[in-house]
Amino acid sequence: MAKEETIIEQWERVKAPAVPELTEVKLKLRETALLVLDIQNQNCNQDRRPRCVKTLHNVQMLLEKSRKSEMLVIYTLTSAASKADVRREVLPRRDEQIVKAGVDKFYQTNLEDLLKEHKIKTVIIVGTSANGAVLHTATGAAKRKLEIIVPVDGISATYPYEEQYTVWHLLNAPGTRKRVILTKAKMIQFI
């Protein structure tokens, strides 16, 4: 009788899916918002999450483009954080809203109301943690029928696998697969 394979043995044979294709995007300014998720000193630093530190340049680039175009920018923080905890490289301006929440930034917050008030149809999501805030907020956005743009060079997690899984999930899960476009910060244009 053949020995039955364990789940772990099966997992050891799993091959990673192909690298997803990235798409150049042109977005309507007045219908798009940039969501900057949880980029804080406590979780975006060389000791805890150096991958986040490496994304800061790309997030800064998107912030500059968004602000120059007078696009809506909304920040999120973890529940225990304050504005003073935001990394100095990406500090919010006085007129930019901050939402505090757990992993789904729509859950029990005014994020949906802010987006509706500005007639937003598309959100660009950047930030950390990819497998927490990015994944769950993107899922919440899809549930609300928003289009979702994820610049892969603007999201981070502790390990590359967490980022890879998040991207795979967003492209393949029933709730998000028809609403997510993967890109890079330099591949986003505003019209």
Confidence of residue 2 (pLDDT cuts 50, 70, 90): low
- Cα torsion 136, 190, 120, 184 to 10°: value is 0
Confidence of residue 39 (pLDDT cuts 50, 70, 90): very high
Q: Taking the CA atoms of the chain, what radius of gyration do you get in angstroms?
A: 17
Please say whether the beta carbons of 97 and 40 come within 8 A.
Answer: no
Please say whether the beta carbons of 141 and 148 come within 8 A.
Answer: yes
pLDDT in tens, 55-92: 999 999 999 999 999 999 999 999 999 999 999 999 99
pLDDT in tens, 101-151: 999 999 999 999 999 999 999 999 999 999 999 999 999 999 999 999 999
**Domains along the sequence of the chain with CATH:** 21-190 (3.40.50.850)
Compute the average pLDDT of residues 17-42.
96
pLDDT of residue 5: 83
pTM greater than 0.85 = yes
Please say whether the beta carbons of 155 and 126 come within 8 A.
Answer: yes
**Which residue, 39, 60, 18, is CA-closest to 130?**
39
Question: Euclidean distance between the first and final Cα of the chain, in Å?
Answer: 65
Q: How does the average pLDDT of the chain come out, rounded?
A: 95
